[in-house]
Amino acid sequence: MDTAGNPSYLAIVVTARGVHAEGLRLEFENDGVEVIAKRRLQRCADRFSKAARVGQLEHRDERELNEFMVAEVFEIDGFLEKDGAYDTCLFEIHSDATAGMLLRPSPAPRRNPFALPFPCNRVHTVEIDFTDWMPSRWRGSK
């Protein structure tokens, strides 16, 4: 993340297992890498407005482990928003990526408030590198 006005970079790595790996396999077989890469870039641009892909979308199918991986990097201009306070900026982390993985409940009457698929093991990790975020006047002090 760059706070000096330069573009920031967003790396996304997806590891899908089981039925979700199979879903990605079918998507890649039916749509192809180019269409999927274009669609994923559009989603990123819809969220951050100024996004460009760095390199190619990469994917790997580990059938013996029943895993399918997708990796991509985007350059984003305007990743951070200026806050009204002096010398600060805002970065919002949206949970819609995780929420979008949950299946929409059936309109039929249910006994439970929200039925999750079983087994359900979702991990969504956000890592932020603020290596150069700290103003020089603060470096070296604790």
Residue 24 near residue 16, CB atoms below 8 Å: yes
Structure tokens at 111: 């006994």
pLDDT exceeds cutoff 80 at 32: yes
Residue 115 resides in a domain: no
Query: What is the predicted pLDDT for the residue at 19?
Result: 86
Q: How far is CA 100 from CA 2, 103, 104, 124, in A?
A: 28, 8, 9, 12
Residue 3 resides in a domain: no
Can you give the pTM of this predicted structure?
A: 0.70
Q: How many domains does the chain have?
A: 1
Owning domain of residue 49:
8-80
Sign of the CA dihedral with 100 first, then 37, 12, and 73 last: negative
Residue 44 resides in a domain: yes
Residue 16 near residue 68, CB atoms below 8 Å: yes
How far out from the chain centre does Cα 82 lie? 22
Residue 116 resides in a domain: no
Model confidence at 137, pLDDT cuts 50, 70, 90, reads very low
Name which of 99-103, 114-118, 131-135 the model is least confident about.
131-135
Residue 61 resides in a domain: yes
E strands in 4-135: 8-17, 50-62, 67-77, 81-82, 89-90
Residue 85 resides in a domain: no
Residue 120 resides in a domain: no
What percent of the chain shows pLDDT beyond 70?
68
Residue 14 resides in a domain: yes
